[in-house]
Amino acid sequence: MLYQLLRWCFFLFLLTGMLSCNELSENKVLYLAHTLPQTHPVHKGILAFQTALEKKSEGKLKIKIFPDGQLGSEREVLELLQIGSVAVTKVSAATLSNFVPEYNVLGIPYLFRDKTHYFDVLEGEIGKSILEKGSKYWLRGLCYYDAGSRSFYTKEKAIRTPDDLKGLKIRVMNNQMAINMVNALGGSATPMAYGELYTAIQQGVVDGAENNPPSFVSSNHYEVSKYYTIDEHSSIPDVLIISTKYWEKLSPEEKIWIQEAADESAQAEKEYWAASVTESMKKAKEAGVEIIIPKKSLFAGKAASVLEEFKKNNPSMATLVNQIQAQ
């Protein structure tokens, strides 16, 4: 506890000093923190954002990136944005939903019909309206990054139908939608920190987890999980967020540069993501992981109760869900 407190004090001192120096400089530096490794396709998208912004602003706006969770977890970094200590971050929409309720909608299982529908929603008026909802919580959305579709992987028992999930402890993010989904499918949802998961699977604390192919491989979870079931139960995007405390200090021209750079980086990240999925699946197969392609309608049918329960408990967001389904 003392170590964590000292760590926070150190980072706040460091960032305050950097921001103070930044205010005295003709050029501005935006500090961007995220939790992903530098080999991750989303990190490559962030590098594209960095390059595009510096080019558009002719060096007047620069990005300094703190990857690998250097400044804390996703939740901790969002809190740093809210007080203005960090300018920008990339987080999962699932984590963001704990701050901005509308992002919960994007985690509903089997909400998107296919990849085309997914991007039509995120890049259209519906997606933009959700990005704007965060402003009242000091977290303004800039764009979405493709984070693929999440599927189940297990250590000892293959999942071919929802019935195979019965009795299995499945690690999920600390997100109510994810918990409800796994429980509805018959598994036992077990929230756990991502950094603890490899050892938890290895030692049998949990029977498996769920994530997208690049994360499955980059985390080395494929070493301890020999079955990967491509049920694609949820397609939760990542979101590039800027602190409104920082945003409001920018000139109109600077805001345009940042938004345009973010939009360009989102398109570049799509390509990085697609290439990474192909590469990750190849690596997993070569390592002996059995790739299972189940009948997704069985999973979707059993998870339908999660959607109905969400609409019942959140009538103000039921319209948003209906709009997505109708698009």
Q: Residue 39's domain is classified under what CATH number? A: 3.40.190.170
Cβ proximity of 179 and 104 under 8 Å: no
Beta strand segments in 146-245, E = 150-154, 169-172, 188-191, 208-211, 227-234, 238-243
Please check whether residues 140 and 166 belong to one and the same domain: no
Please check whether residues 47 and 104 belong to one and the same domain: yes
Position 10 scores a pLDDT of 45
Please check whether residues 163 and 241 belong to one and the same domain: no
pLDDT tens track of the chain, all 327 residues? 443 544 555 455 555 544 444 443 468 999 999 999 898 999 999 999 999 999 999 999 999 999 999 999 999 999 999 999 999 999 999 899 999 999 999 999 999 999 999 999 999 999 999 999 999 999 999 999 999 999 999 999 999 999 999 999 999 988 889 999 999 999 999 999 888 999 999 999 999 999 999 999 989 999 999 999 999 999 999 999 999 999 999 999 999 999 999 999 999 999 999 999 999 999 999 999 999 999 999 999 999 999 999 999 999 899 999 999 999
Please check whether residues 208 and 266 belong to one and the same domain: no
Structural domains in the chain (count)? 2
Position 174 scores a pLDDT of 81
Please check whether residues 216 and 272 belong to one and the same domain: no
Rounded to two decimals, the pTM is 0.87
Please check whether residues 263 and 168 belong to one and the same domain: no
Please check whether residues 11 and 140 belong to one and the same domain: yes
Please check whether residues 134 and 201 belong to one and the same domain: no
Residues of the domain holding 142: 2-147+237-277
Please check whether residues 220 and 295 belong to one and the same domain: yes
Position 248 scores a pLDDT of 96
Please check whether residues 304 and 195 belong to one and the same domain: yes
Distance CA 248, CA 251 (A): 8
Position 27 scores a pLDDT of 83
Q: What is the total residue count of the chain? A: 327
Position 8 scores a pLDDT of 52
Question: For strand 88-92 and strand 238-243, is the pairing parallel, antiparallel, or unpaired?
Answer: antiparallel
| Residue from 217, 229, 238, 111 nearest 173 by CA | 238
| CA 185, 186, 188, 194 torsion-angle sign | negative
Distance CA 16, CA 1 (A): 22
Please check whether residues 250 and 231 belong to one and the same domain: no
Please check whether residues 26 and 75 belong to one and the same domain: yes
